[in-house]
Amino acid sequence: MTNSRLPEQGSAGGANRRPPPPPPGRSFDWREAMAPSLISIVSIVVVFGALAWLITSAEQWPRIKLQFFSVDAMVAAFPRVLQGFWINMRIWLIVLACILVLGIALAVIRSLRAPWFAPFRLMVILYIDLFRGLPVLLLVLLFGFGIPALNLPGMPSSSLFWGSVAMVLSYSAYVCEIYRSGIDAVHEGQWAAAKSLGLTEWQTMIYAILPQAVRNVLPAMMNIVVALQKDVALLSIIGVRDAVREAQIYTASTFNYSSLIVAAGLFLLATIPMARLADYITHRDRVRRLQIGG
Amino acid sequence: MPRVQLSEVTKYFGNKLVLDQVDLSVDLHEVVCLIGASGSGKSTLLRCINRLVKVDYGDIYLDDVAITDSQFGKVGLHKRIGIVFQSYNLFPHLTVLDNLTLAPRKVHGKSKKEAGAAAQEQLDRFGMDSFASAYPEQLSGGQQQRVAFVRALMNRPDVLLLDEVTAALDPELVGEILGIIRELKAQGMTMVIVTHEMGFARDVADRVCFLEGGRILEEGDPTRMFSEPKHERTRAFLDRIIEAGRL
């Protein structure tokens, strides 16, 4: 060992170098571990308990309870409201599928740069300006009542059909813009690479850009999915017997509003899991981006 | 007969003159390096050759046929000129194999099986046979760039354009890419290379062109140019490079 002849070099010196001892261990203290969650639980119980006491001890509470939270009325209204809600869900799925397809088609037309697409690009721009600028409710009334009244030969005359068409047209305008932001977010180098390989603009869009764009916009799209889930209830205004309509019918004959609370509960039952799913997808997307960025 | 010939190529981005009547000819099997500061127009010049950038004035010829000629059609030019980019530009949603076979299948009408076999053969040749089913983000920068080389070579191009292909790589990964370029030179590939690796340019180039302000200020034999540049601007540029420890 030649080290012994060298002068002492502190902790950097070869053979004598030793790591410092481990820090004094602390045994697991369950009180310290549990205390924060205990405090949280106790404070939640205290605050919400106080609120509940405040509300239920109000002078008008028995009337409110009878009007909105009557268990008998809820049980009586439930089967019809649930049946209506099943219609909501079916309309939601069909309308959603149409929106996703129409939205992507519009976004592609709007994003292609070749000059002979100019008239179609202009049509899409006008379409978006029109349908994004009008209230959905107005469109539903216009389509749902107006078009069946025309008695067009060879066209469906159901309000449900035309009301759904109004929803599709309105939502597709928004969805188109979301897809388009996803297409714009794809790096310019991807276009250059595809072009240098000989792909046409159309092939580049289909095989290289769109798959990346769809992945880019998935979190934003989930919000649209959730919003649509409850906006389908707008169709009740044109007489579609969905959950809201069925609840209203019950209300009209009994003057008790508990049936609306039943419908509200069903909507929450459907939308809250969807919102959690949206959060999860957003989170996963963020993790993916951070990994690529690092 | 030069393989690639540029004649008075001029390009504006808006009102800004990026290329100012550039003449350049590249012979068969020749390796030409374009050097110069950022914004000197070297990358734009490179991208003009395969029409990623359309020139405003002037002509470019491949084997004496103008690259705008109808005989190339829509895809013929891209079959004969390959390009590799600084940031690889692999398609992140496709596996390595799909990245390689996309153009052969969709552009050149090969069957999936045929294109797949050709891609596998190229991967074997570059020692990357195990990467076929990996996605780009699972590979290191150097591996991704090697895949990008294979993708550019899938069509067996006559000319290869390299746009700062080592600039985005960690220093220890640069060597494997430079190795590939040397190997391609040994096989006789005609190449136009934009690079900041001056030492590499000196080794591999048959000719070096120094660009500034959209013009080729000086061109010549690399050994001569790096040791005794004629133009004072070239000298100033090389002095800055040496100062930065890059030569």
A253 in contact with chain B, both atoms CB, cutoff 8 A: no
CB A175 within 8 A of CB A224: yes
**For residue B84, what are the β-bridge partners?**
B162
Q: Which of A23-27, A84-88, A289-293, B118-122 shows the lowest per-residue confidence on average (mean pLDDT)?
A: A289-293
Q: Structure tokens of B143?
A: 């591996």
What angle do helix axes B141-153 and B112-125 make, rounded to 10 degrees?
130
Smallest Cβ–Cβ distance between B91 and the set A190, A200, A292 belongs to A190
Among A183, A197, A200, most B C-beta atoms within 10 A, so best to mutate, is: A197
Interface predicted TM-score of the whole assembly (ipTM), two decimals? 0.92
What pLDDT is recorded for position A184?
94
User: Which tens digit of pLDDT belongs to each residue from A171-180?
Assistant: 999 999 999 9
Low-confidence ranges of chain B (pLDDT < 70): 246-247
Q: Which of A23-32, A193-202, B9-18 shows the lowest per-residue confidence on average (mean pLDDT)?
A: A23-32
Per the CB < 8 Å rule, is B92 touching A208?
no
The percentage of residues in chain A with a pLDDT greater than 70, rounded to a whole number, is 93
**How far does chain A reach from its first CA to its final CA, in angstroms?**
44
Strands B190-194 and B159-163 come out as parallel
What pLDDT is recorded for position A8?
53
User: Which tens digit of pLDDT belongs to each residue from A150-191?
Assistant: 888 888 889 999 999 999 999 999 999 999 999 999 999 999
Chain B nearest-CA residue for A191: B89
What pLDDT is recorded for position A1?
44
Ramachandran angles phi, psi of B4, nearest 5°: -120, 135
Smallest Cβ–Cβ distance between B78 and the set A189, A198, A211 belongs to A198
Per the CB < 8 Å rule, is A291 touching B75?
no
The structural domains of chain B, ordered by start, are 4-243 (3.40.50.300)
Tell me: pLDDT of A44 over 50: yes
Per the CB < 8 Å rule, is A197 touching B90?
no
CB B213 within 8 A of CB B40: yes
Average pLDDT, integer, range A20-43: 82
Per the CB < 8 Å rule, is B92 touching A212?
yes
Full DSSP string of B167-224: TTS-HHHHHHHHHHHHHHHHTT-EEEEE-S-HHHHHHH-SEEEEEETTEEEEEE-HHH
Cβ within 8 Å of B, A 155-214: 187, 189-190, 192-200, 203, 207-208, 211-212
User: Which tens digit of pLDDT belongs to each residue from B137-156?
Assistant: 889 999 999 999 999 999 88
Tell me: pLDDT of A2 over 50: no
Distance of residue B54 Cα from the nearest chain A Cα, in angstroms = 13
Residues of B in contact with A193 (CB under 8 A): 85, 89-91
The structural domains of chain A, ordered by start, are 74-293 (1.10.3720.10)
Per the CB < 8 Å rule, is B89 touching A215?
no
CB neighbours (10 Å) of residue A158? 13
* Count of CA atoms in the C-beta half-sphere (13 A) of B123: 23
What pLDDT is recorded for position A5?
54
What confidence tier does A11 reach under pLDDT thresholds 50, 70, 90? very low
What confidence tier does A292 reach under pLDDT thresholds 50, 70, 90? low
Tell me: pLDDT of A4 over 80: no
CA nearest neighbour of B33 among B227, B172, B165, B177: B165
Look up residue B40 and give its DSSP letter.
Answer: S
What pLDDT is recorded for position A291?
67
Average pLDDT, integer, range A198-204: 92
**Higher pLDDT, residue A16 or B42:** B42
